């Protein structure tokens, strides 16, 4: 029974379980799908506004990959009821997972990492950020990197507008300045997806197809600073 918005739309769905260790968050894990997941908005009323906003970031993350209406729902002038968004996000997540329950190499599930390569490193560098807030910034930076690599993606403005609408952070340099760069770099390299001099990240292509990209660290630095 997930009790935060973030867990309702993301971590309780998809069968991953993990614990944190001294080496970082979710470093020991397994695939073990729940038999049933019970979700109610009663718990959400107990959260402070910042926690709810952080959960919204994971809803925004999944929306571009879905063929459903989640992206339009989020952008509509009238914000729908929270449970409508929760349901939309769960459907979208299941759609992205498809048959890829065990994260096979080249599988579709990797789309769920949108915003997370940069996001996880940000979380370690700027502990004042909640996970969802770091993912929000991560999505913007990863789209920016993809565009600088000449890749076609969904428009960065689509995500940026939604982050502003739901009061999520959009100013990366507010959290990673030149002094924090080496910490940020160290955190990036701890990520098991990344390699000695390049990082791997995923973004939604123009039609929402998952695009897996890589960039070398010198290039990354020259884009960010
Ligand atoms: Zn996440």
Contact by Cβ (8 Å): 81, 65 = no
Band of pLDDT at residue 196, cut at 50, 70 and 90: confident
All residues at 6 or more sequence positions from 139 whose CB lies less than 8 Å from its CB, including other chains:
57, 60, 61, 114, 115, 119, 159, 163
Q: Evaluate if residue 39 carries a pLDDT over 90.
A: yes
Q: Which domain holds residue 15?
A: 5-224
Cα(189)–Cα(187) distance, integer angstroms: 5
CA of residue 6 to ligand 1 center, whole Å: 8
Band of pLDDT at residue 8, cut at 50, 70 and 90: very high
CA of residue 130 to ligand 1 center, whole Å: 10
CA of residue 209 to ligand 1 center, whole Å: 19
Give the pLDDT of residue 104: 82
CA of residue 78 to ligand 1 center, whole Å: 26
All residues at 6 or more sequence positions from 85 whose CB lies less than 8 Å from its CB, including other chains:
9, 56, 59, 70, 73, 74
Q: How many domains does the chain have?
A: 1
pLDDT single digits (tens) 89-140: 999 999 999 888 888 887 888 999 999 999 999 999 999 999 999 999 999 9
Domain of 193, CATH number, reads 1.20.1090.10
Give the pLDDT of residue 191: 76
pLDDT single digits (tens) 160-184: 999 999 999 999 999 999 899 999 9
What's the alpha-carbon Rg for the chain, to the nearest Å? 17
Which of these, 149, 134, 163, 147, lies nearest to 63 by C-alpha position?
A: 163
CA of residue 131 to ligand 1 center, whole Å: 6
CA of residue 61 to ligand 1 center, whole Å: 9
CA of residue 170 to ligand 1 center, whole Å: 17
Q: Evaluate if residue 81 carries a pLDDT over 80.
A: yes
Q: Could you count the other beta carbons within 10 Å of the beta carbon of residue 12?
A: 19
CA of residue 168 to ligand 1 center, whole Å: 14
Q: Evaluate if residue 74 carries a pLDDT over 80.
A: yes
Compute φ and ψ for 24, nearest 5 degrees. Answer: 140, 180
The listed range with the strongest mean pLDDT (63-77, 102-116, 135-149, 197-211) is 135-149
């Amino acid at each position: 029974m997930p009790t935060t918005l973030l867990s309702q739309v993301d971590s309780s769905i998809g069968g991953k379980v993990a614990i944190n260790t001294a080496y970082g968050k979710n470093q020991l894990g397994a695939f073990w799908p729940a038999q049933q997941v019970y979700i109610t908005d009663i718990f959400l009323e107990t959260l402070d506004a910042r926690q709810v906003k952080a959960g919204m970031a994971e809803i925004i993350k999944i929306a571009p990959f879905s063929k459903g209406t989640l992206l339009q729902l989020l952008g509509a002038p009238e914000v729908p009821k929270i449970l409508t968004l929760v349901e939309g996000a769960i459907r979208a997540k299941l759609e992205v997972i498809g048959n890829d329950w065990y994260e096979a190499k080249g599988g579709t599930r990797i789309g769920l990492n949108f915003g997370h390569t940069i996001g996880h490193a940000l979380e370690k560098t700027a502990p004042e950020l909640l996970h969802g807030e770091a993912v929000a910034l991560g999505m913007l930076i990863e789209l920016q990197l993809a565009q600088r690599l000449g890749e076609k993606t969904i428009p960065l403005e689509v995500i940026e507008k939604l982050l502003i609408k739901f009061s999520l952070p959009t100013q990366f340099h507010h959290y990673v300045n030149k002094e924090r760069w080496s910490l940020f770099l160290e955190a990036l390299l701890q990520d098991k997806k990344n390699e000695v001099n390049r990082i791997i990240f995923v973004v939604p292509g123009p039609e929402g197809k998952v695009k897996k990209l890589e960039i070398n660290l010198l290039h990354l630095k020259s884009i960010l600073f």
